[in-house]
Amino acid sequence: MVAYLNQMMTDNFSEGYLTGGEISVSFIRPVRPGDLIFGKGIVQEIRVEGARHRLVCGVWLENQDGEKTTVGTASAVGQVREREE
């Protein structure tokens, strides 16, 4: 099940997740044969780490009934860019 969340983070943050990402999850409900699983997430925090940002996300998997089956946090890094005026 963690593979779904890894794929979601890779799709959204690519190299920022693959080279500096972290993930930690808990399995809170079983997934049964035939269940449909949906990966979801939201950026909860942005931390400055020197010349880069770390985006910390709440991530989870839901089944077809909207019940969470897996919950946790994941993060990815990116370069700090100057704000354009």
**Mean pLDDT for each consecutive 10-residue tract of the chain (85 residues)?**
94 93 97 97 93 94 98 89 61
Asked if residue 27 lies in contact with residue 69, where contact means CB atoms within 8 angstroms, the answer is: yes
Asked if residue 11 lies in contact with residue 71, where contact means CB atoms within 8 angstroms, the answer is: no
Rounded to whole angstroms, the Cα distance separating 36 from 19 reads 30
H-type helices in 14-78, by residue range? Answer: 15-18
Residue whose tokens read 């780490």: 49
DSSP label of 33: T
Q: What is the pTM of this model?
A: 0.87
Options 3.30.497.10, 3.10.129.10, 3.30.360.10, 3.90.1150.10; CATH of 2-79:
3.10.129.10
